[in-house]
Amino acid sequence: MRAGETTASEDPKERILSAAGEVFAERGYEAATVRDICLAAGVNVAAVNYYFGDKQKLYNETVRQAHQRLVAQVPLSPWPEGTPARAKLRDFIGNVLERMLGFGRPRWQTRLMLREVLQPTDACRDLVEGYIHPQFQLLLSILGELADGQLEEPQLRQLAMSIIGQMFIYRAAGDVVGMLVPADEMASLHTPVPLADHITHSALAALGLAPPLTSSEPRA
């Protein structure tokens, strides 16, 4: 099949996938053009159809790959046995926020996922089943541990969705959030670490497991 591939960035298929990720994430499926992707990848226009068949198949493959790389970054069993549930909650929220908002990995990966969440296509089902649903279940189990049998599953799901929503808005509507919050405050309070503290504290306080937000000194 393949003839001579040297490094990953020399393989045209890789280069196209990477360029397509950026362009699709930035402009969306319709507005992204095959010509732009090929220009960014430094390959001929015909390469997309040669390697992937057509634009739609390239898109599906791009989403699939971004999704799988994202999954690979998430540790399967993050905590040693005996870790307190509230520590797990803080870790979970911090990790999700870091993955959503952090500047580490290429931004387009999560941005592409976000597009699928906002307006699902065929590629969305795999994303939910392979990535989002397991994370949701993990959060549910943490909350179940915290509630210690005092909340039913439906209430746990409501609470879980509340927590996810508080993180989600920063990723999905970050621009508007930036218009509502002063710039300096945006940089100091609405970033992964302080946000994770705030959201965790809110959830624990709502569960009666931490002092209310109005108390000036939250416990560590």
Partner DNA sequence: GCTCATTTCAAACAGGCGTTTCAATCAGTT
Partner DNA sequence: AACTGATTGAAACGCCTGTTTGAAATGAGC
CA separation for the pair 190, 34 (Å, rounded): 37
Contact of 110 with 174, CB cutoff 8 Å: no
- The residue range among 35-43, 87-95, 122-130, 196-204 that interacts with DNA, by the rule CB under 7 A, is 35-43
Smallest distance, a second copy to C-beta of residue 146, A: 9
Task: Tell me which of 17, 25, 32, 196 binds DNA, using CB under 7 A.
Answer: 32
Could you tell me the two tokens for 100?
């959503």
Cβ burial of 134 (10 Å; 0-12, 13-18, 19+) is: middle
Write out the binding residues for DNA, residues 51-80 only, by CB under 7 A.
54-56
Rule CB under 7 A: say whether 8 interacts with DNA. Answer: no
Residue where the block lists tokens 């993050």: 78
Helix 12-31 crosses helix 34-41 at what angle (to 10 degrees)? Answer: 150
Contact of 177 with 186, CB cutoff 8 Å: yes
**Cβ closest to a second copy, residue 14 vs residue 151:** 151
Rule CB under 8 A: say whether 193 interacts with a second copy. Answer: no
Smallest distance, a second copy to C-beta of residue 218, A: 11
- The residue range among 2-10, 53-61, 97-105, 210-218 that interacts with a second copy, by the rule CB under 8 A, is 210-218
- The residue range among 42-50, 93-101, 131-139, 187-195 that interacts with DNA, by the rule CB under 7 A, is 42-50
- The residue range among 34-42, 90-98, 148-156, 175-183 that interacts with DNA, by the rule CB under 7 A, is 34-42
How many angstroms separate the first and last alpha carbons of the chain? 57
Residue where the block lists tokens 């090929």: 38
Please give the sequence-ordered ranges of beta strands (E in DSSP) within 24-168, or none if there are none: none
Give the number of other CB atoms < 10 A from CB of residue 153: 9
Contact of 6 with 14, CB cutoff 8 Å: no
* Residues in contact with DNA by the rule CB under 7 A: 1-4, 12, 32-36, 43-50, 54-56
* Residues in contact with a second copy by the rule CB under 8 A: 27-28, 30-31, 117-118, 120, 124-125, 128, 132-133, 136, 147, 150-151, 154-155, 157-159, 161-162, 164-170, 172-173, 175-177, 179-181, 185, 189-190, 195, 198-199, 202-203, 205-209, 211-216
